[in-house]
Amino acid sequence: MRHILNIVKKELDKIFTNPRLIFSTFILPGLMIFLIYSTMGNIASVEVDKATTSTSVIYLINSPECFEEIIDAYNEVYPVGNPNNINCKFIRYQEEEITSEELQNDLKEAKCHAYVVFEKGFEEILQNRLNDQSLPLPVVDCYMLSTSSISSVAYQKVSTLLKALKDYKIKETYGDITIINDQTFDLSTKEEQSNLILGMILPMFLMIFVFAGGLSVGADAIAGEKERGTIATIMMAPINKNEIVIGKVASSIIITIISAIGSFIGVALSLPSTEDIFGGADMSMFTTGTFVGLFLLIMSTALIAVTLFLIASTLAKSVKEATAYSMPFYIISMVISVSTMYMETLPKEITGYLIPIYNLSLGLKGILIGDLTIPYLLLIIGSNFVYFILGVLLMVKLFKSEKLMFAK
């Protein structure tokens, strides 16, 4: 029994006497969960706030006088500046002034966020219904996009106004009766909804898998040589240090790329099965060009991951130390991979496409939702290749420091 306790004490001492192991074993897992979920929560909150505080553009077709009165009354009770103000810009048409195709195109292109079609003669039909419950209901059709948070908020505002109209008119009858047949039509297809879910989840998984593969390779590539004492043999060999760096980088890239290809093949093979998982992704958008773009982005992710982890491995004295140095990059990649999760469209500003790691997450998101253009794809790949070259040059400089390479 005493020997068992000694062994237990010895193994526990390995952890509790090493601050790095205490951090990586007990603190890091909880910290990663906290960072990921708090980032997701904050980003979701920002997107919701953006949708709720933005002005909703709503088309009203055949808008009756009674509905206009409700809008005026609502704005009078909740004026601009009041948190309950509907904050809408209403654009009015008669049905002969705009076609259903134009309405749908404007909604899809975000020129409007929802549109409402009142039945011709709505007010007269409503009044007849109030007088005689056997007569037909006046019809109101609301159109929105569930894949757009701004459109969903606009629809909620329309629903609030329609409810106010019902409540006001029901008071005239002194009873709880059905007076309006309001119908909702979601113009987002099942495939668009599924692709949006894919765009939320897959970039995170791809980034995590590729960076995890790069971490396992990069941490051992140089720090492992130092720890085993073989780095001196390599450095003393009649080989140019630049060649050593390039060889290390090339071999690590090959291994990471093979790992990345595995992730790519897994994604490619899993997409046809998304009908059972997500309700059916639109496979027609996944053309040869889409898969080529996805492959190039995964390769770019592998280059960046290898570069960061090899630099950490060069600075470290052991594999453990290299892993500790690499872990912040891994955490950052995980947090950034969820930063684009709730984006519905990609930003138009060039700046985001030049930020390493973040631009890869943007690219993967854009490819999966069909919103990434070729110029932005080339910008992402080109900028990351520049970062890769700069990382290799830094490693060459580090290799020339004997104090660093032979440190114990």
Answer yes or no: is 9 within a domain. no
pLDDT band at 267 (very low <50, low <70, confident <90, very high): low
What is the average per-residue pLDDT within 262-285? 61
Residues 359 and 226 in one domain: yes
Domain of residue 92, residue span: 50-188
Answer yes or no: is 32 within a domain. no
pLDDT band at 141 (very low <50, low <70, confident <90, very high): very high
**Pairing outcome for strands 139-144 and 114-118:** antiparallel
pLDDT digits (tens, 9 = 90+) for 292-303: 888 888 888 888
What is the average per-residue pLDDT within 135-161? 91
d(CA 61, CA 59): 6
Residues 330 and 248 in one domain: yes
Identify the pLDDT of residue 172.
61
Confirm if 332 and 195 have CB atoms less than 8 A apart: no
What is the average per-residue pLDDT within 362-381? 88
Answer yes or no: is 104 within a domain. yes
Residues 366 and 251 in one domain: yes
pLDDT band at 284 (very low <50, low <70, confident <90, very high): low
Residues 163 and 133 in one domain: yes
Q: Select from 130, 164, 188 the last residue of a domain.
A: 188
Residues 108 and 202 in one domain: no
Confirm if 154 and 145 have CB atoms less than 8 A apart: no
pLDDT digits (tens, 9 = 90+) for 190-220: 777 777 777 777 788 888 888 888 887 887 8
Q: What is the number of structural domains in the chain?
A: 2
Residues 204 and 163 in one domain: no
Answer yes or no: is 17 within a domain. no
Nearest to 86 by CA among 74, 103, 98: 74
Residues 143 and 212 in one domain: no
What is the average per-residue pLDDT within 350-358? 90
Answer yes or no: is 8 within a domain. no
Sign of the Cα pseudo-torsion (370, 373, 377, 379, in order): negative
pLDDT band at 89 (very low <50, low <70, confident <90, very high): very high
Q: What is the 3-state secondary structure (H, E, C) of the chain?
A: CHHHHHHHHHHHHHHHCCHHHHHHHHHHHHHHHHHHHHHHHHHHHHHHHHHHHCCEEEEEECCCHHHHHHHHHHHHHCCCCCCCCCCEEEEEECHHHCCHHHHHHHHHCCCCCEEEEECCCHHHHHHHHHHCCCCCCCEEEEEECCCCHHHHHHHHHHHHHHHHHHHHHHHHHCCCCCCCEEEEEECCCHHHHHHHHHHHHHHHHHHHHHHHHHHHHHHHHCHHHHHHCCHHHHHHCCCCHHHHHHHHHHHHHHHHHHHHHHHHHHHHHHHHHHHHHCCCCCHHHCCHHHHHHHHHHHHHHHHHHHHHHHHHHHHCCCHHHHHHHHHHHHHHHHHHHHHCCCCCCCCCCCHHHHCCCHHHHHHHHHHHHCCCCHHHHHHHHHHHHHHHHHHHHHHHHHHCCHHHHCCC
Which residues sit opposite 85 in a β-bridge?
A: none
Residues 180 and 203 in one domain: no
Query: How many degrees, rounded to 5, is the angle at CA 84 between CA 79 and CA 86?
Result: 75
Answer yes or no: is 226 within a domain. yes
CATH number of the domain within which 145 lies: 3.40.190.10
Q: How many CB atoms lie within 10 A of CB 256?
A: 25
